[in-house]
Amino acid sequence: MNSETANTASETRLGLRSRPGRLAALRADPARMAAVRDSWRALWSSRLLVWSAGVGAVLAFGFGPTRGAFDAPRVTRGFGALGDLLVAPAARWDSAWYLVIAHYGYRPDLGVYTESRTAFFPLYPLGIRALSWLGSPPILAGVLLSVVAFALALYGIHRLTTLELPAAGGRGGEAARLAVLVTAFGPMAFFFSAVYSESLYLALSVGLFWSARQGRWALVGLLGALATATRSTGLVLLLPALMLYLYGPRRDRPPDFARGRRRRIAPVYRLRPDALWIALMPAGVVLYGLALALGGGDALAPFHAQNVWGRHFAGPYLGIWDGLKAAFEGARQLLSFQRRIVYFPSAPGSPAVAAGHNLTLFAFLVAAIPAFVAALRRLPLAYGAYAIAALALPLSYPVTSQPLMSLPRFLIVLFPLSIGAGAWLAEHPRAARPLLVLSAVLMVVFGAQFATWHWVA
């Protein structure tokens, strides 16, 4: 072996020649390059719009009346006039919880004084703390974590769409592009660059579906464990993971049994030892509860903490009925043009504002129905099952004054709805531009409200 060959071999072993090779492979793959291109365009243009709307709203209307009330530790301000202005679109409301946890921890030993923190799962604040150790200010660390995770999620949604809709009447690539745009310019998409865990959870759940479709079950278990350490709804990812393992479609091996009339319910794949990786998925929430217990708290506190926000069990998905009644009474309240008589369980503040919130929340539920139907019709059953299961919490545990509180944030991470909407828009191109423009306008409006400390979702 001559010296040149020896150097080449050593460089390969050290990984010095792998990066150019991977980059060349990426450039040679039209599907991956399309995913990179479409995701990048959607990312920078939507985030520019979010920041412009938020900063412009603060310049025009000020920081809003509830800034000091909710931000008692001053974790989202104190950066100077320019700094406070620039963080406005990213650090509001629940951002304060994540920043406090990243700085002070959960402190379960303090009992009821810190019990509310346990509703916010640990992976996202741990990410903020890790980036802060590297020298980044906590808010900047949160924004970086959210934006990077969002970029990966957009890329993954594009790849999943082209995988599940390869033909789509010749519109598979267009459906993927539109699915990415629906996600990036959704009415509540400003949360994806805020100091919130939505983008991280979205990236993990998209990655889990992609890994399951490829039959990479060790990665499924790892991503599932990280998802359950990010949000409590990560536990419902067990359902689609098991469905894809037993029923497919899968790309790692052919079915063990042929489908037929006698096997409509029976699995088409045998259980093998690699299925044990799926059992790793609850590890995130288990370790979180164990850490709380070892710190002097209650291991089940994360599930009890929702009581602080007034959530109660009304029955499986009966929150839909409560939301309908609240929307009806909200319309009645607004049409009465008075505040003396309140037609629904009152919340702090103006009855007219609460009525408007209930109407808006119900409108999001109604708007999600066509996307849900489109996902059920065009995607494997595991996608629709995931969406149904993930909505069990907000639709079964309503809040008394606002039954559908936070429903839009639950909806934006349900990427099967975005894929379904993208597929439908690809089939109806005349509707695509008007609906995307309307969605972007709503994102600007809601993002401006968020930046000025008005409650959104």
pLDDT (tens digit, 9 = 90+) per residue, 169-215? Answer: 446 689 999 999 999 999 999 999 999 999 999 999 999 999 999 99
Indicate whether 49 belongs to any domain: yes
pTM value is 0.92
Cα(114)–Cα(297) distance, integer angstroms: 10
pLDDT at 3 over 60: no
User: What pLDDT, on the 0 to 100 scale, is given for residue 445?
Assistant: 97
Give the mean pLDDT of 147-172. Answer: 86
Q: How confident is the model at residue 13 (pLDDT cuts 50, 70, 90)?
A: very low
The 8-class DSSP code of residue 311 comes to B
Residue indicated by tokens 């944030």: 409
C-beta of residue 234 within 8 angstroms of C-beta of residue 284: yes
Highest mean pLDDT among 16-20, 64-68, 292-296: 292-296
CA angle (68, 69, 75) in 5-degree steps: 55
**Whole-number mean pLDDT of the chain?**
89
Cα(253)–Cα(303) distance, integer angstroms: 39
User: What pLDDT, on the 0 to 100 scale, is given for residue 16?
Assistant: 44
| The pair of three-digit structure tokens given for residue 338, joined into one six-digit string | 């008075």
pLDDT tens for 325-374 read 999 998 988 888 887 777 777 666 788 888 899 999 999 999 999 999 99
User: What pLDDT, on the 0 to 100 scale, is given for residue 389?
Assistant: 95
| The pair of three-digit structure tokens given for residue 11, joined into one six-digit string | 């460089």
Indicate whether 406 belongs to any domain: no
What domain count does the chain have? 1
Indicate whether 413 belongs to any domain: no
Higher-pLDDT residue of 350, 248: 248
Question: No. of H helices and E strands in the chain?
Answer: 21, 0
3-state SS of 255-307 is: CCCCCCHHHCCCCCCCCCHHHHHHHHCCHHHHHHHHHHHHCCCCCCHHHHHHH
Give the mean pLDDT of 87-111. Answer: 91
Indicate whether 83 belongs to any domain: yes
% of the chain residues with pLDDT over 70: 91
Higher-pLDDT residue of 260, 204: 204
Cα(409)–Cα(55) distance, integer angstroms: 22
Provide the 10 A C-beta neighbour count for residue 83.
14
Residue indicated by tokens 């957009």: 154
Higher-pLDDT residue of 338, 138: 138
pLDDT tens for 266-275 read 888 999 999 9
β-bridge mates for residue 399, sequence order: 311
Domain coverage including residue 268: 30-310+418-451
Indicate whether 407 belongs to any domain: no
Indicate whether 386 belongs to any domain: no
C-beta of residue 149 within 8 angstroms of C-beta of residue 196: no
Cα(365)–Cα(81) distance, integer angstroms: 38
DSSP-derived 3-state class of residue 349: coil
Provide the 10 A C-beta neighbour count for residue 340.
6
Indicate whether 120 belongs to any domain: yes
Indicate whether 80 belongs to any domain: yes
Cα(211)–Cα(84) distance, integer angstroms: 40
Which candidate, 113, 142, 111, 143, places its Cα nearest to that of 126? 142
